[in-house]
Structure 1
Amino acid sequence: MSFLKNTPKILPLLVLIFLAMACRSSQTVSLPKGVPIVTRAQWGAAPSVLPMKTHVPKKITLHHTAVKQNPDRTLAAKLQALQKFSMERSQLSGGRMKEPWADIPYHFYIDVHGEIGEGRPLQYVGDSNTPYDPTGHALIVLEGNFEVEKVSAAQRQSLERLMVALAKRWNITQDHISGHKDNASTACPGADLYHMLPQLRTLVSSSR
């Protein structure tokens, strides 16, 4: 009887404990250790707008934003704009309309200065505007159009560090590292970034 009498007081406390545990679990799953990453909370992410499917990362797939690098804009502003675009019905560069996504399609975003931002939490499947299933793919996008631009030295350094950490955490082998164009008909991740893939695979393999 005394327990039932105190239930209204206990329930809010239990809810807070559950939410705290869920947040810790999310961070543990989403963020590899030893890599400086600007979290969703730090860059001011809005909550996801649609349900998302969970998965276990088994691959690493690289993308580029296909938009020229902007060194004067903050990482937070870039991620907020990308999230807004992602969550709305938006027109793609080819004129085709994209229906709303639950959140940013990529799990990690690396800006021109090499700063890494947390995108969609890694435990959830990403999205793509091309017809391939990204289930099991840890999606990394680099700021820039690498058909006409070069990956910056800072971006490459951060990318290498992030890929090694992800591969170790999820036991991802070099043969499961690819570019977007390996999975769908697209120029993404751009020529300059795509040409780095053999060296990135070797780095991951030698770091295991």
Structure 2
Amino acid sequence: MRLYRIALWATVPMVFPLLVAPAGVATARAVHDQAPEGPPSLWRPEAVGSSVVPVVGTGRPFPALGAASMALPRMAPRPAIVSRAQWQADETKRDRYAHYAGGVRAVFVHHTDTPNGYDCADVPRTLRDLYTGQTRDRGWGDFGYNFLVDRCGTIYEGRAGGADRPVIGAHTLGFNQGTTGIAAIGTFGPGTPVPAAMERAIAALAAWKLGLGGVDPAGKVGLTSTNDNSLYAKGTSAQFDAISGHRDGFATNCPGEALFARLPAIRKLAASLQGRSPRISSGARLAAGPGSARPGGR
């Protein structure tokens, strides 16, 4: 029996894994004017249990991403995420279809505008209520946010389609494509303390999602509006922080003055988690600013 030695050379190109859509997710369909936005020919649907195959490496830039190519990954650890099954989402309520962009270039941070004095053990029930409202009452077909984070720092999967996928949500009108929406559970108006655990979780989640596309959380990205009802006319390109607030793209107070003021520190921590700056201790409070480790009321 002959043994062969295989040499690995530095010239071998990097190969990225092919991700498949999760069970129960089928091809794309529009849900009102929220998500996705743009012509169906530019969506990237993937079906389970059908003859449709994943669209990979087409070389066509996704409209909201401009012509910029995807950078090499800058990996940050994937944080623990509570799945939809774990918080008992009723999958019969949502639209059968998920929508995918070519990648995630930016994160928009939101707040849910709900009471702050909740017990973290009760969050799954809160999520089910929010899910019903956004799916049935607002007609978004599913959760608008891709992820939600509670005051204890627990991360929950929001919109269906796969936490590791570039799922198009319905969170920032005009800039849903190529972005991820992260909602802090609570209301963060002026003077409201933002829990340190929540900040760290948002930073960890953003570092991971942006790192998959090599995006610097402390950097700037160019996005193109797909809806005239955003702060920018349809077709207008604008520069955003890679981690922005909802108000940066839409006329709203979201994510509240207190949380918006914490975004610079969240960007810094997210960048450090990608190894882009001196690492901050995981148990340390973020840079001084409004808020404390103890959440406040409305």
Structure 2-normalised TM-score? 0.53
1:183 pairs with 2:249: yes
CA RMSD of aligned residues (A): 2.2
Alpha-carbon contact 2:203-2:267 (below 8 Å) kept: no
Would you say 1:59 and 2:106 are equivalent positions? yes
Q: What residue is the counterpart of 2:90 in the other structure?
A: 46
The question of 1:167 aligning with 2:214 is answered: no
Give the structure 2 partner of residue 37 of structure 1: 81
Tell me which residue corresponds to 2:10: none
**Alignment match, 1:23:** 22
The aligned counterpart of 1:9 is none
Whether 1:71 and 2:118 are equivalent positions in the alignment is yes
Contact 1:107/1:118, CA 8 A, preserved across alignment? yes
Q: How many aligned positions are there?
A: 172
Calculate percent identity across the aligned residue pairs. 29
- Of the structure 1 ranges 102-111 and 196-205, higher mean CA displacement relative to structure 2 is found in 196-205
Would the aligned equivalents of 2:166 and 2:179 in 1 still touch at CA under 8 Å? no
Q: Once the two structures are superposed, what CA deviation does each residue of 1:132-152 show, in whole Å capped at 9, x if it has no partner?
A: 231111110001111152211
Mapped partners of 1:108, 1:192: distance in 2? 20
Residue 71 of structure 1 aligns to a residue in which SS?
coil
Corresponding residue of 1:15: none
| Separation in structure 2 between the aligned mates of residue 131 and residue 141 of structure 1, nearest angstrom | 15
Partner of 2:129: 81
The structure 2 residue matched to 1:205, chosen from 271, 277, 297, is 271
Q: Which residue of 2 aligns with 1:105?
A: 144
- Return the structure number with greater helix share: 1
| Residues 22 and 61 of structure 1: CA distance in aligned 2, closer, same or farther (over 3 Å) | closer
For the residues of structure 1 that align with 2:203 and 2:270, how far apart are their CA atoms? 8
Could you tell me which amino acid in structure 1 is paired with residue 188 of structure 2?
F
Amino acid in structure 1 at the alignment position of 2:113: A
Shift, 1:153, TM fit: 1.9
Structure 1: distance between partners of 2:186 and 2:149? 10
Match of 1:154 among 171, 176, 197: 197
Q: Which runs of 5+ in 1 are unaligned?
A: 1-20, 27-31, 90-97
Give the alignment partner of residue 178 of structure 2, picking from 136, 140, 163. Answer: 136
Deviations 1:165-197 (A, max 9, x none): 222223222222210001011100111111111
Amino acid at match of 1:79: L
Alpha-carbon displacement from aligned partner over 1:48-84 (angstroms, at most 9, x marks no partner): 2253421121111100011221422622111111111
Conservation of the 8 A alpha-carbon contact between 1:66 and 1:143:
yes
Which deviates more, 79-88 or 68-77?
A: 68-77
Partner of 1:3: none
Secondary structure of the structure 2 residue equivalent to 1:170: coil
CA contact (8 A) 1:57 1:170 kept: yes
**Structure 1 residue 154: Cα displacement:** 1.7
